[in-house]
């Protein structure tokens, strides 16, 4: 086993299975701009949820694969979801 493979095994990361626990970036919601439409919450319910202020918030940045989070980002009508490196 190569050193890289050992590291991936040690991190419990399996790119072939689309494991998303170790993403290099995280989604972030600009609450000032959020209009509470709910699209991101319905697209990625394990990443986004409404806070007590009725605005969307990220409660689990690794709750979905990046491609699914990107789908939520692309669908946001006011483009207030961003990636943070
Ligand atoms: S999709 Fe955008 S506007 Fe709609 S709830 Fe999510 S962050 Fe707010």
The mean per-residue pLDDT over the stretch 40-50 comes to 98
Q: Where are the alpha helices (DSSP H) in the chain?
A: 3-10, 39-43, 66-75
Testing ligand 1's pocket by substitution, the residue of 29, 30, 39, 83 carrying the most ligand atoms inside 8 A of its CB is 39
Residue nearest to atom 6 of ligand 1 (CA): 40
Select the more confidently predicted residue: 50 or 23: 50
Angle at 69 between CA 25 and CA 59, to 5 degrees: 75
- Delineate the domains of the chain, giving CATH numbers in brackets: 23-84 (3.30.70.20)
- pLDDT tens digits, residue range 6-42? 444 444 444 444 456 667 899 999 999 999 999 999 9
Lowest mean pLDDT among 23-27, 54-58, 65-69, 75-79: 23-27
What is the Cα–Cα distance from 47 to 69, expressed in whole angstroms?
8
What confidence tier does 52 reach under pLDDT thresholds 50, 70, 90?
A: very high
29 alpha carbon to ligand 1 midpoint, in Å? 8
């Amino acid at each position: 086993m190569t050193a890289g493979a050992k590291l991936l095994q040690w991190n419990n990361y399996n790119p072939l299975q689309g494991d998303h626990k170790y993403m290099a970036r995280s989604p972030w919601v600009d609450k000032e701009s959020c209009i509470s439409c709910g699209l991101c919450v319905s697209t990625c319910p394990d990443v986004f949820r409404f806070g007590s202020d009725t605005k969307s918030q990220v409660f689990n940045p690794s709750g979905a694969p990046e491609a699914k989070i990107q789908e939520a980002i692309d669908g946001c009508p006011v483009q207030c979801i961003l990636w943070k490196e």
